[in-house]
Chain A
Amino acid sequence: MAALAVIIIFVLIGLIVLVVGAPLRRAAAERGGSSEGSEAPLRRAELEAAREAKYREIRDAEMDFRTGKLSEADHLALDAELRAEALEILNALEALDAEPPAGD
C-alpha cells in the first residue's frame, strides 16, 4: 500500500509539472517565448466593454421610455446623448483598428 502511495505521488508530481510547465515549453518552442503584449489589446478590451455597456444604456433608455418612465422629450435628448457617446467609442475602436500592428 505504501509503495502504491509513493508511485501515485510521483505520478501526481509528474502530471503537475507537465500541466503547469506546458506554457513554458510552448513558449520555448516558439523561439523566445511570447512577445510582450502591446497596449492595443488591453485598450481594445476596455473599449469593447464600454461599447457593450453603452448599447445596454441605449436599450435601457428605450425600455424606460416605452414603459413610461421617461417622457418622449427626455428620451430623445437622452438617446441623442447616448448615441453620441457610443459614436465616440466606435470612433476610438476604428482608430485602434487603423493603427499599424506592433513591430517585431
Chain B
Amino acid sequence: MAGFGFICLLLALAVCAYGIAASIYGVRTRRWEYADSGRRAMYALAAVLTIAGLVLELAFISNDFAFNTVADTSSRTTPALYRVAAVWSSQEGSLLLWAWLLSLWSSLALFLTRRRLREVAAYATAILLGLGGFFVGLMVFYANPFSTTTPAPPEGVGLDPLLRFPTMMIHPPMLYSGYTLCMIPLAFGFGALLARRLQADWIGAIRRFAFAAWLFLGIGILLGARWSYAELGWGGYWGWDAVENASLMPWLTATAFLHSLMIQEKRGMLKVWNVSLVLATGTLAIMGTFLVRSGVLNSIHAFGGSTLGVPFVCLIGVLIAASIYLVVSRREMLRSENRLDSLLSRESMFLANNLVLVGLCFVIFWGTYFPLISEAVTGQESSVGPPWFDRYTVPLALVLVLLSGIGPVIAWRRATLANARRNFLAPVAVALLALAALAAAGLAHKPLALAMFCLGAFVLAVVAQEFVRGTRVRRAMAGESVPRALASLVQRNRRRYGGYIVHVGIAVLFIGVAASSSFQHASELQLSPGQSTKVGPYTVRYVRPTASITPKYDRAHTGSTVAFGAEVDVSKNGRHVTTLSPSEGYYASGEVSQGTVGSLIGGQPVSHVSIDGGVTRDIWGAVEPNIETGRLKKIVDAGNRTLSSDEAIVAIGLLAKEYIKKPPPAQFHFIVSPLVMWIWIGGLIVFLGGLVAVWPAPSTVRARAAARIRARSPRDLVRA
C-alpha cells in the first residue's frame, strides 16, 4: 500500500511537469487545446492526490505502523476521530494536505474560468501546477509520507496530547485552505502580468477566491486562538508567536486587497497596489508555511540542517524576484486610469485603510523575522515579545477600527463636508455617550481600551444607521414591510451590506480583545484543599483533589494514563457562581529508563483547563499538581522496583488513591477575563458577513437585473 501511495506521488509529479509544459506551450503558440490539456492536468493532479491521501488515511485508520508517519503520530489507543486528523499532524502528512487542497481549489478556479481569461488562466495553470509540483517534490525527495519501516513496530507513539482537541482537528484544514486559496490570486496575478492583461476582468474573476482565502485564513486563525485559550495552560488566546503571526500577515494583506480591488473595479485605480498585494499575500502564505514546516525560527542553527528550509527559501526568492521584475517591467500598463477626485471620498478611506493594514503587516513581519535578521547582522539570536508587538499594533488597530466606521459613511468619488457632518452626527454622539458612560464607570485609567470601546461603539452606530437608512429607502421605493425591506436591501446589495456585517464583527472582536486583555484579573499561587484566594471580585476555593485513571474514564479522550486535578468552588459575595474542574494529564513516555511505573506517566504532562464561559466574563482555571513529593514518589519508585510492565497500572491506582487521601499543595492559575466570549462571537459575525458578501445573488434576481440593463438602449443611459 505504501508503494502504491508513493507511485501516486510520482504520477502527480509527472502530471505537474506535463501540465506546466502544455499550458505554457499552449499560451505561447495560442494553441488553446494545449492550454485546455494543461488545465485538465490540474484535475488529474487533484484526483491522484486524493487517492494518495486516501491511502494514507486508510493506513492511519487501520493502524498500519509500517508507515513511519502512522507510527510517529498515532497509536491503537488514539480515538478513531483523532486518528483521521492525525494525518496532518506530521510534517509529511501536512505537506500532502497542502498539495491536495491546492489541487482542489485550483481545479475549481480553473474550471470556473475555463471560458474566459484564456491567456491569463493558462499562465495561472502553469504557476499553480508549479506550486503543486514543488510540494509534491518535497514529499518525493525530502519528506515522504509513504516511507516505511520493516518490521513494523507493534504500537505507535500516539498523537501529541496537545492536539487531542476538537478545534485542532479542523484548524489545519481551515488554515491550509486559506494558504492554498491565496495561491489562486497569486497565480492569476502573475498570469495577468505575464499575459499583459491588466484590466479589471482578471480581478473580478479571482475576487471570490481572494475572499474565500481571507475567510478560511480568518477561521483558521480564530480556531488556533480558541485552542490556545482553551487547551494550553497559559490562559491567553494570542501570544504573538511566530506561527500565529505567519498566518496573520497574509490575512492582513488579503484584507487590504479585498478593499482596494473595489477601487480598481470601479475606477481603474490602484493597479500597482492591487497586483502587489495579491503577490505579497501569496508569498506571505508560502512564507507562513515555510515558518511552520521548517522550524527555522525555533532553532536558527537548524536552518542549515533543515532539509525543507533550502527549497522553501529558493521558492520564496523566486516569487519575490519574479514579482518585482514583472511589476516594474509592466508599470506602464499598471498606470491608474483615473486620479483621486477628493481626499474626502471612500477611495481615500480605503487607501488609508490599506496603508494601516500594510503597516500592521510590516510591524508583525519585522517582529517575527527579527531573530533571523538579528542573527544575520550581529551573529547573536534575539527575539521580540508581546510588549513590543502591542506597542505598535494597538495604535494601528485603533486607527483601523476608526476607518472601518468612517468608510461606509463617505460616498464614492467625493463627499462634501456638510454631508459628512450630517452623517457622522449620530455615530459620533453614540461614541461620546459611550465615552462618558465608561469613564463614569471608572475605566478611564485604561485609555487605549476606552478608545477601542468608543471606536467600537462608533462603528456599530454607523452600521446601524446604514441599515436603518437603507431599509427606509427600500420601503419608500417598494412599499415593503420592515423585515421584507431589510431582507431585500441585503439581497440586492450583498457586497455592501455583507461588508458592513463584517465591520460589525471586527468591532465586536476588538472590543472583546480590549476588555479581556486590559481588565483581566489573574492569580497564580499554591493552594491546599480548603484554602481560597481572591481573583477580582470572585473568591476561589480549592475544595478537594480529583484523580481519574486510564482512558476508560477519560471522557475527553485525552489518552492520558492518569489525570490529577481539583474541584474548585467559585463564589461572589458569598453566593456560589460555578465549579471548575481543572486537571493535568500524565502520559506514557515509552522510556524504559524511567521504570515500569515511571514510563506510564513520564511523558510531557498536559494541562486540561476548566472554563466557565459567559456573556460578560470567563472564569478560567488551570492546575499543576505536584506528584514528585513524599509518598507519591515512593509509590512510583517502589513500583519501578517490584512491578512488571503488565502490573505497573496497579501502582497508578495506588498513586491516585494516595493523591486523593493526602493531596500535596498544587499550583493553581486563575484568570477572570471580561467579554472574552465576544471575541468568538465577533469572529462568527465576521464569518456570516463574509458569506453574505460573497454569496451569489439568486439567479432570478440576477436575470431580472441583467434584463433590465440590456433593455435600456445605450442612448437611454444619457439623461437629457
Contacts and interface: CB of A to CB of B under 8 A. Distances in A.
Contacts of A68: 419, 422-423, 469
B493 interface: yes
Contacts of B48: 12, 16
B429 interface: no
Contacts of A57: 266, 412
B418 A71 contact: yes
A25 B97 CA distance: 33
Nearest to B201: A49
A40 interface: no
A64 B37 contact: no
Interface string A17-54: 00111111011000001101100011001101110110
Contacts of B422: 68
A36 B33 CA distance: 10
A23 B416 CA distance: 57
Contacts of B32: 34, 37
Q: DSSP majority for the A interface?
A: helix
A23 B37 contact: yes
Nearest to B203: A49
Contacts of B415: 69-70, 74
B272 interface: no
B685 interface: no
B466 A67 contact: yes
A53 B200 contact: yes
B11 interface: yes
Contacts of A90: 714, 717
Given A13-B11, A27-B33, A71-B418, A86 B717 contact: yes
Q: DSSP majority for the B interface?
A: helix
Contact of A60 (B18, B412, B473): B412
A64 to B, nearest CB: 4
A55 to B, nearest CB: 6
A34 B118 CA distance: 13
B555 interface: no
Contacts of B19: 20
B129 to A, nearest CB: 12
A20 B40 contact: yes
B718 A21 contact: no
Contact of B200 (A26, A49, A66): A49
A33 B709 CA distance: 37
A83 B718 CA distance: 6
A78 interface: yes
B117 interface: yes
B40 A33 contact: no
A5 B3 contact: yes
A86 B712 CA distance: 12
B572 interface: no
Given A9-B7, A60-B412, A94-B714, A70 B419 contact: yes
A101 to B, nearest CB: 17
Contact of B33 (A23, A56, A60, A71): A23
B57 interface: no
Nearest to A17: B44
Interface of A: 1-2, 5, 8-9, 12-13, 15-16, 19-24, 26-27, 33-34, 36-37, 41-42, 45-46, 48-50, 52-53, 55-57, 60-61, 63-64, 66-71, 74, 78-80, 83-84, 86-87, 90-91, 94
Interface of B: 1, 3-4, 7-8, 11, 15, 18-19, 30-34, 36-37, 40-41, 43-44, 47-48, 51, 116-119, 197, 199-201, 204, 265-266, 409-416, 418-419, 422-423, 466, 469-470, 473, 493, 496, 709, 714-715, 717-719
